Amino acid sequence: MRIALGIEYDGRGFSGWQRQTGTRTVQECLEKALSKVADAPVNLVCAGRTDAGVHAVGQVAHFDAQVLRSLRSWVLGANANLPGEISVQWASEVDETFHARFSALSRRYRYVILNRWVRPGLLRGKVTWQHAPLDLTPMREAASHLVGRHDFSSYRALACQAKSPIRTVHSIVLTREDDCLYLDIHANAFLHHMVRNIAGVLIAIGKGEQTADWSREILEYRDRTRGGVTAPGDGLYFVHAEYPDVYSLPQPSRPPRF
């Protein structure tokens, strides 16, 4: 039986999603918890690997179970053995054609910027703080240059292992509510650090350090060394992945608001 899971986590205490030797990761904690429920080793595949400090409200993963358990048992059993920062929200039985990564049609991220002159206390680690006022008008114009199918070499990490830098960005939406600025990005897939690099460029433009055309100039360089500063992982959330209706997965979680 193949099981898909919906997962949320606070990424501050982890070295990212992917299992790594000698460090605490989300994948490792989940696999250990699920292995106790299955009474056998479990290997997870996720929709989108997140970096250290990055959060998720709707991460999707799958594993193949060799034992029969109810969907409720997978959820409650996993949560009973997980640290408090990780919670399995749902489990769904899917057929063997489902793959959390390769079956995904698109993915959505939200980047949250607290834009006020004093630093956060309660929201520390959950938002990125910018004390300088940000102007949404040039940020929106700059974001429009990145929508569409492009070579995003300038917006990916130098260590990115993706075979192709070509990605299709469906939309980039910037909104403000009180002191919070929300950057929502929807794309078919993302490169390593792609959202954080886009956020870093847009923040610089919003502060007036660069013009709106700078985002397009960087794109055309196709050279990460000529790109902008990578924004912090604080405030970045994997919102959800979208799949064909045939899999009948639960409705995606709502993105965070503060």
Which domains are present in the chain? Answer: 2-103 (3.30.70.580), 109-235 (3.30.70.660)
pTM: 0.94
pLDDT in tens, 26-74: 999 999 999 999 999 999 999 999 999 999 999 999 999 989 999 999 9
Per the annotation, the verdict on 51 as an active-site residue is yes
Binding residues for substrate: 109
Q: What is the pLDDT at residue 227?
A: 86
Q: What is the pLDDT at residue 11?
A: 95
Please give the sequence-ordered ranges of beta strands (E in DSSP) within 121-206, or none if there are none: 128-130, 148-151, 166-177, 180-187
Tell me phi and psi for residue 15, to 5 degrees.
Answer: -90, 40
d(CA 86, CA 46): 14
Return the number of other C-beta atoms located less than 10 Å from residue 154's C-beta: 22
d(CA 256, CA 237): 8
Q: Which of 11, 63, 120, 62 is nearest to 243 (CA)?
A: 62
Q: What is the pLDDT at residue 43?
A: 95
Please give the sequence-ordered ranges of beta strands (E in DSSP) within the chain, or none if there are none: 2-9, 45-46, 55-64, 86-94, 106-115, 128-130, 148-151, 166-177, 180-187, 236-242
Tell me phi and psi for residue 231, to 5 degrees.
Answer: -70, 155
- The residue from 51, 179, 184, 245 that is catalytic is 51
Binding residues: 109
Query: Per-residue confidence of the chain (258 residues) as pLDDT tens digits?
Result: 999 999 999 999 999 999 998 899 999 999 999 999 999 999 999 999 999 999 999 999 999 998 999 999 999 999 999 999 999 999 999 999 999 999 999 999 999 999 999 999 999 999 999 999 999 999 999 999 999 999 999 999 988 889 999 999 999 999 999 999 999 999 999 999 999 999 999 999 999 999 999 999 999 999 999 888 899 999 999 999 999 999 999 988 889 999
